[in-house]
Structure 1
């Protein structure tokens, strides 16, 4: 099964559990805010070359640099087991060459807002610990990207990375602290999203490549439930 098929299957299962949980809900209208330290590990590999007037060497590829960022998540509980969550963060990544282009500076300072909404299903344990899984859509808004020094040396004067719609799978656990209004939270997401990079020399497109982003996003922090 391809990654889109896997996402659909998991999302369908989660939504089915959500419907069942809502039907028997004894609790609703609860909010939770989380503050995280987050690592974003992006792929960035080339999956397709559409235009290549720069004549890239055979085997040339790219990788995006990882980033550490603060993240805030806001969550609403429809029931003790079902919630919906959105996150807020901005990550910045440079794109560097690999293979024959190893270390080449291609794109600098690409900013990404990973607008994400997930439906989550929780598994409350007797200790109060709540593991959960989730899935939902994500829209990666990319802006601020600049031509790296190596790409500029090859004649590129402008670069653009497309904003794209994708999907996210999620798993994590919330751990309450006894007698406290706060708890600990650990969260891992896997995104499935691509982008197209277009390099221009003046008004002429000299290189256009499609890239797999598919980042892993791992977060740890504190949660406030109210």
Structure 2
């Protein structure tokens, strides 16, 4: 009896999984840091510049309302500037990846317009740091960081489109990587807001 019940449960889970749908999203994002960091006793300010990025993602729908999305952004080149008295005195160029996973709830309705919200986790994985200015002859190391992510947006599928749609969303990422220089060690407050638009295809 227990074996039969377990078999029925496994068949039900398999059917549920097969009933789901995959969606591929191809978009472009504007990454806008919302914070900066004071160093040297407040004499200098460290700030990450805004950047543009190619941000594809893959999403799996468990049903009409719930899904999980993985952001698969291409490597992003990022500039960090150090300013004092209004002038840039140093800078750091680096590359990084922002892998992000969110669990999403879709407000499904009878129209092609589907709003959604999501929460999850994100990471900041940097490499290839290059310093300039007063830091040019020193080693600068930016560490990995992990934080939470929040997301709100919508997907729109025209009535005559079977699989294609367009989407727009806004994400917030709580990221504060540690920076080590010959002058000072500090946490760089980035906390970016990411604005994304693109196309979606469900199959």
TM-score by length of 1: 0.76
How far did residue 211 of structure 1 move?
1.3
- Aligned with residue 185 of structure 1, among 167, 174, 178: 167
Q: Which runs of 4+ in 1 moved over 6 A?
A: none
**Contact 1:185–1:223 at 8 Å: present in 2 too?**
yes
TM-score by length of 2: 0.84
Q: Tell me how far apart the structure 2 counterparts of residues 170 and 92 of structure 1 sit (CA, whole Å).
A: 23
In the alignment, is residue 166 of structure 1 matched against residue 143 of structure 2? no
Q: What pairs with 1:1-226 in structure 2 (closer than 5 Å)? A: 28-43=19-34, 45-46=36-37, 56=40, 58-89=42-73, 90-100=75-85, 102-108=87-93, 110-152=94-136, 156-180=137-161, 181-200=163-182, 206-226=183-203
Q: Tell me how far apart the structure 1 counterparts of residues 181 and 37 of structure 2 sit (CA, whole Å).
A: 14
Q: Tell me how far apart the structure 2 counterparts of residues 83 and 38 of structure 1 sit (CA, whole Å).
A: 21
Query: Which structure 2 residue ranges, 5 or more long, are not aligned?
Result: 1-15
Aligned residue pairs total 187
Q: Please give the root-mean-square deviation of Cα atoms over the aligned residues, in Å.
A: 2.2
Question: The residue matched to 2:134 in structure 1 has which SS?
Answer: helix
Q: Tell me how far apart the structure 1 counterparts of residues 52 and 96 of structure 2 sit (CA, whole Å).
A: 13
Query: Which structure 1 residue ranges, 5 or more long, are not aligned?
Result: 1-24, 50-55, 201-205
Q: What does the per-residue CA deviation read over 1:114-163, in whole Å, with 9 as the maximum and x for residues that have no partner? A: 111000000012212110000001111111111122322xxx42111010
Q: Tell me how far apart the structure 1 counterparts of residues 35 and 139 of structure 2 sit (CA, whole Å).
A: 19
User: Which structure is larger by alpha-carbon Rg, 1 or 2?
Assistant: 2
Q: Tell me how far apart the structure 1 counterparts of residues 43 and 181 of structure 2 sit (CA, whole Å).
A: 19
Q: Tell me how far apart the structure 2 counterparts of residues 147 and 91 of structure 1 sit (CA, whole Å).
A: 17
Segment of structure 1 superposing worse, 94-103 or 114-123: 94-103
